[in-house]
Amino acid sequence: MTLQQRKFVEVPTDWPLIGCIAFGVIDRGTNLIQVRPSSSCPLSCIFCSTDAGPSSRNRQAEYVVDLDHIVEWFKIVAKIKRSKSLEAHIDTVGDPLTYPKIVDLVHRLSEIPRVSVISLQTHGSLLSYKVISNLEAAGLSRINLSIDALDPQLAKRLAGTQNYDLEHVLKMAEAISNSRIDLLIAPVWVPGLNDQEIPKIIKLALSIGAGKRWPPLGIQKYVVHRYGRKPKGVKPMTWYKFYKELRMLEERFKVRLVLKPDDFGIVKDAKMPLRFRKGEKVRVRVVGVGWLRGEKLAVDLRRERMVTLVNASHAEVGSTVSARILACKDNIYVAEPL
């Protein structure tokens, strides 16, 4: 669905912000809480696991969440955690820098007791010197910056748009490295496409001083996702081969590339209780258009969780329907109307 055909939804403040993968807060039972204030992206990476950006075929809506609303739900989740130190990780199904109040969001998160790390994941196109300095002043701890190639033409091809400006992103990488924000360079390794680039990216990360407090690199494996984009002819590496390759690169560059949660101070912690179980029949109110084709968004009658209804083109917004829960992992609910 083209960008023009997509619906742009300002999430109403009476929608709960737990339950939908596309926006809100996600708790996977550790001291890291994912924060998703917007869903849009300016790029259309050909390997994108969330089919983001202007070239998306499956998305029918993009979302943006009110600042107070998302901070309030973050605090609800933070309250149940037992760890002394929490990480707010702004990741999103697009690029978090599309959120107009990203600097205020970082600042507000930094004021919450026990939040000692605020990190953000981006491909960097929307960064500028001013944005970096504002994020630094707001208290951002780390930027996980994805750079997938150092060849400008290949970088454009991987980003799925001729608008991708590698030179700009490289300047921004240096600017981050020279700020108080730590830099972690996080390329996605797409076998057959950017194999030659990975060693170059490792050298770059080391030469510009990435990884002052955390590891300098977080190389990501290309993984096929049901609704993600699949570049033609690309066969994903097995996890075995991926880690073997990383270990060889570790030897060659004398840098740690096989990372564990522990490297980021991530530990298991209390988890928000599930409201529904798989197979359970629930009554929900249909409240809006869903993220992907054929989906609607719904809220349970106690207004505690968002529920994504699949195969729900005919469910009318405003109606109350019965639905069967198909998935409930990490409080992300998918259901089908009965």
**Residues at the site binding ligand SF4, with contacts judged by CB under 6 A:** 41, 43-45, 48, 50, 52-53, 94-95, 123
Judged by beta carbon, residue 52 or residue 306, the one nearer ligand SF4 is 52
Give least dist CB 123 to ligand SF4, A. Answer: 4
Give least dist CB 248 to ligand SF4, A. Answer: 26
Give least dist CB 163 to ligand SF4, A. Answer: 12
Judged by beta carbon, residue 94 or residue 139, the one nearer ligand SF4 is 94
Judged by beta carbon, residue 36 or residue 123, the one nearer ligand SF4 is 123
Judged by beta carbon, residue 53 or residue 337, the one nearer ligand SF4 is 53
Give least dist CB 165 to ligand SF4, A. Answer: 13
Query: Helices 67-80 and 102-110, interaxial angle, to 10°?
Result: 30
Judged by beta carbon, residue 52 or residue 323, the one nearer ligand SF4 is 52
Judged by beta carbon, residue 47 or residue 242, the one nearer ligand SF4 is 47
Give least dist CB 94 to ligand SF4, A. Answer: 5
Give least dist CB 332 to ligand SF4, A. Answer: 18
Per the listing, tokens 């208290």 go with: 139
- Cα-Cα-Cα-Cα dihedral sign, residues 305, 81, 143, 159: negative
The pair of structure tokens assigned to 304 is 């505690």
